[in-house]
A and B are shown apart, each in its own frame.
Chain A
Amino acid sequence: MDFALFLNQLFNGFSLASLYLLASLGLALSFGIMRVINMAHGEMLMLGGYLAWLTLLVVPGGAGILLAVPVAFAGAAAMGGLIQTSLIRRLSSRPLDTLLATWGVSLILQQAARDLFGAIGVEVRAPDWLMGSFTVAGVTLPSARLFIIAVAVLVLGALALVLLKTRIGLLTRAVNQDRMMASAVGIDVKRVDFTVFCLGSGIAGLAGVMLALLGPVTPNVGQSYIIPAFLVVVMGGLGSIVGTTTAAIVLGVFSALAQMFVDVSVAQMLLLVFVILFIQIRPQGVVAVRTRQLDV
Chain B
Amino acid sequence: MSKLVPPAPLRRAKPALPWVLLALGIAAPFYLGAYDLNLLARFMAMAILAMGLVLIWGHGGILSLGQGVFFGLGGYAIAMHMKLADLPAGEMPDFMVWSGREALPVWWEPFASPAFALAAILIVPTLLGALFAWAVFHRRVGGTYFALITQALALAFATLIISRQDVTGGFNGLTDFYSVFGFGLASPGTGTGLYWLTLAVLCLAYLGLRWLLASRFGMLLRATRDGENRVRFLGYATTPFKTVAFAIAALLAGIAGALFTLHAGVVSPALIGVVPSIEMVVWVAIGGRYSLAGAIVGALLVNLARDAVSSAFPELWLYLMGALFIVVVTLFPNGLAGLLKGNRA
Interface residues of A (CB under 8 A from B): 31, 35-37, 87, 90-91, 93-97, 99-101, 103-108, 110-111, 114-115, 223, 227, 230-231, 233-234, 263-266, 268-269, 271-272, 275-276, 279-280, 283, 294-295
Contact call A295/B229, Cβ cutoff below 8 A: yes
Contact call A234/B145, Cβ cutoff below 8 A: yes
Which of B29-70 touch A at CB < 8 Å? 57, 61, 63, 65
List of B residues within 8 angstroms of A269 by Cβ: 156-157, 159-160
Contact call A266/B160, Cβ cutoff below 8 A: yes
Contact call A280/B330, Cβ cutoff below 8 A: no
B147, B163, B285, B321: which contacts A107 (Cβ < 8 A)?
Answer: B321
Minimum Cβ distance to chain A for residue B239 (Å): 12
Interface residues of B (CB under 8 A from A): 1-4, 57, 61, 63, 65, 132, 135-136, 139-141, 143-145, 147-149, 151-153, 155-157, 159-160, 162-164, 229, 274, 278, 281-282, 285, 315, 318-319, 321-326, 329-330, 333
List of A residues within 8 angstroms of B140 by Cβ: 283
List of B residues within 8 angstroms of A227 by Cβ: 151-152, 155, 274
**Residue of B whose beta carbon sits closest to that of A27:** B148
Whole-angstrom CA separation of A268 from B333 in the bound complex: 34
Contact call B333/A104, Cβ cutoff below 8 A: no
Contact call B329/A108, Cβ cutoff below 8 A: no
Specify the main secondary structure of chain A where it touches its partner. Answer: helix
Contact call A96/B143, Cβ cutoff below 8 A: yes
Contact call A105/B326, Cβ cutoff below 8 A: yes
Contact call B144/A104, Cβ cutoff below 8 A: no
List of A residues within 8 angstroms of B2 by Cβ: 93-94
Contact call A234/B148, Cβ cutoff below 8 A: yes
List of B residues within 8 angstroms of A103 by Cβ: 278, 322, 325
Whole-angstrom CA separation of A93 from B321 in the bound complex: 24
List of B residues within 8 angstroms of A105 by Cβ: 322, 326
Whole-angstrom CA separation of A94 from B5 in the bound complex: 13
Contact call A96/B141, Cβ cutoff below 8 A: no
List of B residues within 8 angstroms of A115 by Cβ: 315
Contact call A114/B148, Cβ cutoff below 8 A: no
Minimum Cβ distance to chain B for residue A27 (Å): 10
Given contacts A101-B326, A279-B141, A280-B139, contact A93 B153 (CB under 8 A): no
List of A residues within 8 angstroms of B160 by Cβ: 265-266, 268-269
Given contacts A36-B144, A227-B274, contact A108 B319 (CB under 8 A): yes
Contact call A272/B153, Cβ cutoff below 8 A: yes
Whole-angstrom CA separation of A271 from B135 in the bound complex: 15
Contact call A276/B149, Cβ cutoff below 8 A: yes
List of A residues within 8 angstroms of B141 by Cβ: 234, 279, 283
Contact call A231/B156, Cβ cutoff below 8 A: no
Contact call A104/B152, Cβ cutoff below 8 A: no
List of B residues within 8 angstroms of A91 by Cβ: 329-330
Minimum Cβ distance to chain B for residue A108 (Å): 4
Can you list 14 A-B contacts (CB < 8 A)?
Answer: A87-B330, A91-B329, A93-B3, A104-B321, A104-B323, A104-B324, A111-B319, A114-B315, A227-B155, A263-B163, A264-B159, A265-B156, A275-B152, A283-B139
Whole-angstrom CA separation of A96 from B329 in the bound complex: 10
Minimum Cβ distance to chain B for residue A43 (Å): 11
**Residue of B whose beta carbon sits closest to that of A228:** B152
**Residue of A whose beta carbon sits closest to that of B57:** A96
Whole-angstrom CA separation of A217 from B44 in the bound complex: 39
Contact call B147/A99, Cβ cutoff below 8 A: yes
B61, B149, B164, B329: which contacts A100 (Cβ < 8 A)?
Answer: B329
List of B residues within 8 angstroms of A295 by Cβ: 229
Given contacts A96-B144, A103-B325, contact A275 B149 (CB under 8 A): yes
Contact call A265/B159, Cβ cutoff below 8 A: yes
Contact call A97/B333, Cβ cutoff below 8 A: yes
**Residue of A whose beta carbon sits closest to that of B135:** A276
